[in-house]
C-alpha cells in the first residue's frame, strides 16, 4: 500500500474497527485480496487506515470470526474461501466478543503485585494453595462515566508476570499482552456466571448496599498447552449486567 492510497476511516461513523472490517471485507469479496493471498501486515494496515494496531487486530479477529481469513503466528493473515473457516474460529468467536467488551472500558488499577494464594483464594481459583500469581485489581468504567461498571480481580500466572510493567500504560486486554510478550496463544476462555455478594468496600464504590447480591463472572484463559495463564473475577451490579449468547449449529 502506498501513502497515496491511505484511507481515513474516522470520518465515516461507527466504531473504527468495524469500519476497517467493512472495507477489508469488501476488498476480499471483490477479489482485491484473492483467496490464498496474504493481507498486508498490521503495521501497513494501521498506516493505510490511519488507525492504531489495536484497532487493526480487533478488525482481523472479526474477519477470522466471519470465516474470511485465517491467521497463524509467524505466517501472517491469509484470505480463505468464505465458509471454509477452520475449527478454531468458533473458539476465537467467544474470545473476540470479550475483546470488544473490554475495549470500551477503562480499567483503573488499585492494587498490583505478586501474591502467594491463600487457602480462600485457592478455593476461588481452583488452584493449589501457595501458588504464585501477579494480582491486579480495580474498577472498570465505561468512557467518562464516574460510576464503575464492575470490580475486577485478575490473577496472572507467575510465569507471565512480566506484563506488570505494561499494565498501567497499555490499554490492550491483558491476555493480548501475554500473547504478545511471551509468544503464547490463548486457545479457549471458560466463563462461569453465578450469584455472589459484594464486600462492603466494593459495594460503597458501586453505590449499593453491603452484601448486596451481585453477578460474579469468572473467566479462565487457557493456552494451547492447556495451562491456565489468567483468571479474571468480575463483580457486577445485577441491573448493570446482561449476558447474551448466540448459538450456531456446528458445520459438518
Predicted confidence at residue 64, as pLDDT, reads: 82
131 or 242, which is more confident?
Answer: 131
Mean local confidence (pLDDT), 15-37: 88
At residue 241 the predicted structure's pLDDT band, cuts being 50, 70 and 90, is low
Predicted confidence at residue 2, as pLDDT, reads: 40
Q: What is the DSSP string of 1-49?
A: --GGG---GGGS-S-HHHHHHHHHHHHHHHTSS-TTPBPPPHHHHHHHH
Work out how many domains the chain is built from and give that number. Answer: 2
112 and 82 in a common domain: no
Give the rounded distance of the alpha carbon of 6 from its chain centre.
Answer: 28
111 and 71 in a common domain: no
Mean of the per-residue pLDDT values of the chain: 81
Listed residues 39, 55, 86: the one ending a domain: 86
φ/ψ of residue 3, rounded to 5: -55, -30
Percent of residues, the chain, with pLDDT higher than 70: 77
- Is residue 149 within 8 A of residue 141, CB to CB? The reply is yes
For 98-112, 163-177, 197-211, which range has the lowest pLDDT when averaged over its residues?
98-112
At residue 94 the predicted structure's pLDDT band, cuts being 50, 70 and 90, is very low
Tens digits of per-residue pLDDT, 143-166?
A: 666 788 889 999 999 999 999 999
Percent of residues, the chain, with pLDDT higher than 90: 33
At residue 90 the predicted structure's pLDDT band, cuts being 50, 70 and 90, is very low
Q: Is residue 57 part of a domain?
A: yes
234 and 119 in a common domain: yes
Q: Is residue 98 part of a domain?
A: no
**Does an H or E element contain 143, and which?**
none
- Is residue 245 within 8 A of residue 213, CB to CB? The reply is no
Residue 130 scores a pLDDT above 90: yes
115 and 63 in a common domain: no
Domain hosting residue 26, numbered range: 3-86
- Is residue 51 within 8 A of residue 9, CB to CB? The reply is yes
Amino acid at each position: 500500500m502506498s501513502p497515496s492510497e491511505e484511507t481515513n476511516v474516522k470520518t465515516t461513523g461507527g466504531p473504527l474497527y468495524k469500519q476497517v472490517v467493512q472495507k477489508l471485507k469488501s476488498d476480499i469479496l471483490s477479489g482485491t485480496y484473492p483467496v490464498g493471498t496474504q493481507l498486508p501486515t498490521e503495521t501497513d494496515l494501521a498506516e493505510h487506515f490511519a488507525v492504531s494496531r489495536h484497532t487493526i487486530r480487533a478488525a482481523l479477529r472479526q474477519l477470522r470470526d466471519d470465516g474470511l481469513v485465517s491467521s497463524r503466528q509467524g505466517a501472517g493473515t491469509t484470505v480463505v474461501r468464505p465458509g471454509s473457516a477452520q475449527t478454531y474460529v468458533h473458539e476465537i468467536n467467544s474470545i473476540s466478543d470479550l475483546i470488544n467488551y473490554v475495549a470500551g472500558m477503562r480499567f483503573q488499577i488499585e492494587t498490583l503485585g505478586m501474591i502467594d494464594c491463600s487457602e480462600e483464594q485457592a478455593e476461588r481459583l481452583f488452584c493449589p494453595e501457595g501458588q504464585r500469581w501477579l494480582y491486579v485489581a480495580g474498577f472498570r468504567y465505561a468512557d467518562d462515566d464516574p460510576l464503575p461498571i464492575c470490580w475486577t480481580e485478575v490473577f496472572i500466572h507467575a510465569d507471565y508476570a512480566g506484563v506488570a510493567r505494561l499494565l498501567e500504560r497499555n490499554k490492550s486486554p491483558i491476555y493480548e499482552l501475554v500473547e504478545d510478550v511471551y509468544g503464547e496463544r490463548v486457545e479457549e476462555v471458560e466463563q462461569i456466571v453465578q450469584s455472589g455478594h459484594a464486600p462492603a468496600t466494593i459495594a460503597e464504590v458501586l453505590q449499593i448496599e453491603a452484601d448486596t447480591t451481585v453477578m460474579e463472572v469468572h473467566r479462565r484463559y487457557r493456552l494451547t498447552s492447556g495451562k491456565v495463564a489468567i483468571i479474571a473475577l468480575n463483580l457486577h451490579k445485577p441491573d448493570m449486567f446482561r449476558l447474551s449468547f448466540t448459538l450456531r449449529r456446528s458445520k459438518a
